[in-house]
Structure 1
C-alpha cells in the first residue's frame, strides 16, 4: 500500500504506532492487481484505515465481501506485510447485551481451535470502540452461492468434487464434537486454487446428548431438518439433512422445499414433501432420497454418502478450472494419455514416502532413479495443478530468484559422471558459460529498464503507434504446469517444446522434434539427433512429447504474433525459472526475455532485446489476443495508456517484491 494514499491523520496514527512501517516506500508498497481495461476514470477515494492499537498493526479496508444480520465481511490488507484477509466486522452496538457478546466470544473461541484443510482458517481478532474485527482466510473465489448464482446448476462431477471436500471438513467438525448448524451454499467458501472451505461458525455448537440438545430453531429456513422445526434439537444428522438440501440445490437449481410462503416451506419439510426432477441421474436421485429421510436414524452417514454408488460409479475430477465458477467446464474421465502419464509417474518416481520416513540415503536413491545419476537440486518447485485458461494450464508458487542448494562433493562428482556419460553418446556439447544469464540477472535488467521508462514517460491517454513489422522474437504461446509430478512445459512461437523439470534439468524438442536440446542443472548443454538420444533420456523425452501433445490438442495460441522468418532452432531460448503470483505467471529466459501472463483477462507483457541492437522491445498482447510491439525508448518519450502503464508498474513491483529489492 503506497503511503501516499493515506490521509494525513491516518498516516500519523499508523506512524506513531509503528514508525518502521513508513521508513521506506518499497516496504510499504502493495503490489496492486492490474486494472480492468474499461474501469471508471473517476479519481479513487482514499481507503479507510483500521488500526489495531494493541497489536500495532494497520489495515486498509477494501471491498465488501458479504453481509448478514449482525455483521459485514470486508477484504482488508495488512499495510506492513501486504497480507490480505476476509474480516468479519461486528458493530459494538450489535453486541451491547451480555448474551450477544457471549455469542461472538463463543464463535471466536470455537473457530480458534479449528485446523483443517477444508475449514476457513482463523487468523486473529481485536476490537475498538466501534467494532469487533475477526480476521479470517481470504477465499478469493467467494462461495458456492456465487458459483450457483452464475451457473444455476452444476454437473454431477462438480458436485462430487465439492461434496468430497465438504464431507472431509464436516467429518472433522463432528469428530471434534461440533455441529455447524447452518450449512448452506453461502457458507462454503472457495479458495484461489478452487478448494472448498467450511466457514461461518456463528451458529455452531458443541454436540450434546439427546436430552441436553438445544431446542432453538436456528439456521436457514430452506435447509432446516424436520427434527429442528419440531424442536427435537440438533444432532449430526441435522447437518447431513442440510447437506442433502445442498446437493439438491446444486443439481436442480433451487432448494427442495422452497415455496413462496415460509409456513408452506416448513410444512413441506416436516412432511418431507419434495419432487425429484427426471433430469437427475438415477444415482443422484437415490442419494438425495437416502439423505432426506424424516427419521434422523434412517439417513445416510457421511461415510455412507462417500461409499454410495453416486460416488463409486461416477467420475470425480481431481481439480476444477477457475472458469467453472461461471461456465460449464469440459470435464472428462482420464484419457489414455493421462493414464499413461500417471503410469509414467509411478515408474519414474515410485510411491512417495513421507519426509519423516525418508533417510538421506533413501532420498539419494529416489533421485538417482530419475535420470541415471542426475542429482536432484531443487525439489521446491513441485506444486499443485489447476487449469487456468485456453492457452495455459496452471501454475505453482516458487521463489523467483533462488539458485537452489550448493552441490556437495558427491553431487558434483555425479554431475561430472553424467556429463561424461552423455559425451560418450556422440552428442555435441557446450561447457557451462561463466557469463550465462541467471534469473537474478534477468530480473535486475528488466527492473532497471522498466523503472527508467516509467520514471521518465510523460502522461498520455493512449499508446503511441506500434511497430508495423517488428523483427521476429521468440515467446511462449502455450504452457502447462505438471510440476506436481514432472515440471513446467511450454511451447514457443517457433514451435519448439521445452520442459523445465523439477530436478533442474531442461529438455527441448526442436526443429519439428528432430533435434533434442538437453541442459543439465549446472548449465552444461548437449544436442542430440532425436533418433540417437541416449536411453537414459528417453523417459524425459516421452514426458515432453506428452505435454506437447496435450498443448496441441487442448490449448489455444496465446496471441497473434506469427513470424515466417524466426531465429534458427539452435537460437531457441531456455526457460530459467517461472513463478506464480495471485494475478500472473512470470517466465524468465536465458536470452534475457521476460514474459508475464495475466490470468484474469489473458493479457501478456513480453520484454526482450531487439534483434538489431541491445535496445529493448515491449510487446503487449490484449485480451482479444491482438499484439502491439513498441521500442521501450518510444514509450519513454511518448508515454502510454493507463492500462499498459499499470501493467508495467505491476511487473516491476512483482519482481522487486520477490527479490526483496
Structure 2
C-alpha cells in the first residue's frame, strides 16, 4: 500500500493505492487517542454504521474499515478533484450554470438521505467532494443523525458556524429544514464569494443568523435572489422544500450536462443550446417519437389492413415534413426571427 496525505483535522485523510489491485482509496485515519472516551468512540461508530448503509450516485462510497492499536482506518471512494471548497478558493465565485450543476447533484444526494430519515447536519463546501469525472459526492457523516420527532430532536449546537440555521442556534432542534438552510448558505457562498452571515466576530455572526440579516448583491439575477430569499427564511416551515427548490425559476436556466476539469481553476467555456436548436429538437420528438412499440402489439389478422393505412399516412406525413423542412431549414433560414437563429450568449459570471 502507498499513502499520500490529503488533509488533516480531527482525522487525517490519505490517498492510498492498493498495490495488489492498483485500486485507489481515500483513507480517513483516526488516532485511537482521539476516541478514548466513550462518547468519542460512539461518534465514530455511528459514522461508520450509518455511512456503510448508504448507496447513491451522489454520496461518497463507503468501502470498508479496520483498526489497530494506533488508528482506525476508514476506506472511502477517492474524489481526486478534492472538494467544492478547493474550487471556491481558486475561483472565488462560480457562474449560475455551474451553481445549478452542483446544486442539482447536492439536492439529489440530500433527498436520498432525508428519504432514509437521515440528517447530514454539516453541509458546507468542504463536504462536497468532486471525483475525476467532475461528479459531486456528498460526504463526511461525522455529525449525521437519524431524523426524530420534534420532541426527540437533538438540541445540541453542531455544525459549521457560517452555515447554522436559526433554530439550531436557538436550540429548537434539527430537522430537514436545517439542512435546507445550509444549502441556501452554500448557494450564496458559491455565487457571492463569501457566506451570507460571515463577520469578523462569531457572536455577531450568530446574531445575524438569528435575525436573518444579510445582503443580496445586485449582481445576482432576480431568480437567484428570489431562490436564496425563499430558502433563508427564519421560520423552518416557511422555507422552500428540496422539490420546490428544483422547480424554482432559477433552475429553468441552462444547466450543463458536464463541467470540464478546467472549471476547478477558471471560468469554463459553456455552450448553451440555441433557441433554434431547442425548437427543432422538440419538433423532431413530437413528429417521430414513440412509434415503434405500438406496431409490435398489432394482431396478425389486422396487420395487413393497418400496414396499408400506415403506408398512406406515412406518405402524407412525408409530404408534410418536406414542406416544413423546406420552409424552416432552407436557404431562407436568415429570415426567421432573430431569437430562433442566434445563439444565446454565455451567461455572465455572477
**Equivalent in the alignment of 1:60:** 2
User: 1:331 and 2:270 equivalent?
Assistant: yes
* Residues 341 and 263 of structure 1: CA distance in aligned 2, closer, same or farther (over 3 Å): same
**Equivalent in the alignment of 2:342:** none
Q: Deviations over 1:586-620 (max 9, x none)?
A: xxxxxxxxxxxxxxxxxxxxxxxxxxxxxxxxxxx
SS at 1:286 equivalent: helix
Q: Which runs of 4+ in 1 moved over 6 A?
A: 340-347
**Equivalent in the alignment of 2:218:** 278
**Equivalent in the alignment of 2:37:** 97
Unaligned runs of 5+ in 2: 297-350
Q: Deviations over 1:425-477 (max 9, x none)?
A: xxxxxxxxxxxxxxxxxxxxxxxxxxxxxxxxxxxxxxxxxxxxxxxxxxxxx
Unaligned runs of 5+ in 1: 1-58, 362-661
Q: 1:86 aligns with which of 22, 26, 30?
A: 26
Is the helix fraction higher in 1 or 2? 2
TM-score with structure 1 length normalisation?
Answer: 0.43
In 1: Cα distance, 2:94 partner to 2:132 partner: 19
SS at 2:156 equivalent: coil
Q: 2:56 aligns with which of 116, 123, 128?
A: 116
**Equivalent in the alignment of 2:134:** 194
User: 1:107 and 2:56 equivalent?
Assistant: no
Displacement of 1:343 after TM fit?
7.8
- With 197-206 and 328-337 compared, the bigger mean Cα shift is at 328-337
User: 1:169 and 2:122 equivalent?
Assistant: no
User: 1:297 and 2:245 equivalent?
Assistant: no
CA RMSD of aligned residues (A): 2.3
Is the strand fraction higher in 1 or 2? 1
User: Superposition pairs for residues 95-494 of structure 1, below 5 Å?
Assistant: 95-312=35-252, 314-335=253-274
Q: Deviations over 1:197-251 (max 9, x none)?
A: 1000000000001100011100000000000000011000000000000000000
SS at 2:152 equivalent: coil
Displacement of 1:340 after TM fit?
9.5
In 2: Cα distance, 1:344 partner to 1:294 partner: 45
Q: Deviations over 1:317-345 (max 9, x none)?
A: 11111111111111232147965996899
Displacement of 1:159 after TM fit?
0.3
**Equivalent in the alignment of 1:368:** none
* Residues 81 and 245 of structure 1: CA distance in aligned 2, closer, same or farther (over 3 Å): same
User: Radius of gyration: which is bigger?
Assistant: 1
* Residues 341 and 200 of structure 1: CA distance in aligned 2, closer, same or farther (over 3 Å): farther
Displacement of 1:128 after TM fit?
1.0
SS at 2:137 equivalent: strand
Displacement of 1:138 after TM fit?
0.4
